[in-house]
């Protein structure tokens, strides 16, 4: 496996799909912005979203990312939510993602009173297609 290719996909301007489990164990999939710290998959969300509620109940997740410029370059990751990061770090992170994905300095879709969090996922299995 080419770990650098995986990091490039996670650091690129690519949309990912995060799968979580509903209370009845049915899957729930959401398109998300994606990031990595080089070891973990990072997803920023708000605490009022279904994906956040699902991962606080069941930390098992799957993430799929396809290269926006080459759909045959993709990675699929199954893992466990290892940590939830709150506060200034999460707020700064969503602004950095807005810069990458939208070219703006601040995340423009923030709602009043919204608490942002970073979901930090430890990969358990990684499948890469290049």
Provide the domain count of the chain. Answer: 1
pTM assigned to the model: 0.94
For residue 130, is pLDDT > 80? no
Which tens digit of pLDDT belongs to each residue from 12-35? Answer: 999 999 999 999 999 999 999 999
- For residue 80, the model assigns a pLDDT of 98
For residue 1, is pLDDT > 70? no
What range does the domain containing 76 cover?
3-129
Instruction: Give the CA diameter of the chain.
Output: 43
- Give the CA distances from residue 104 to residues 33, 56, 94, 124, 125, in Å, rounded to whole numbers and listed in that order: 14, 30, 11, 34, 34
Which tens digit of pLDDT belongs to each residue from 77-120? Answer: 999 999 999 999 999 999 999 999 999 999 999 999 999 999 99
Rounded distance, CA 37 to CA 82, Å?
Answer: 13
- CATH value at residue 68: 2.30.110.10
Among 34, 35, 38, 27, which residue's Cα sits nearest to residue 3?
Answer: 38
Give residue 3's pLDDT band: very low, low, confident or very high (50, 70, 90): confident
């Amino acid at each position: 496996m080419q770990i650098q290719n995986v990091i490039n996909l996670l650091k690129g301007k690519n949309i990912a799909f995060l799968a979580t489990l509903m209370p009845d164990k049915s899957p729930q999939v959401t398109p998300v912005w994606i990031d990595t710290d080089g070891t973990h998959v990072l997803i920023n969300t708000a605490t009022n979203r279904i994906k956040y509620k699902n991962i606080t109940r069941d930390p098992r997740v799957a993430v799929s990312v396809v290269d926006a410029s080459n759909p045959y370059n993709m990675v699929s990751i199954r893992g466990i939510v290892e940590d939830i990061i709150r506060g200034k770090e999460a707020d700064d992170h969503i602004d950095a993602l807005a810069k990458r994905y939208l070219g703006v300095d601040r995340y423009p879709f923030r709602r009043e009173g919204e608490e942002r969090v970073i979901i930090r996922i430890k990969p358990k299995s990684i499948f890469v297609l290049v």
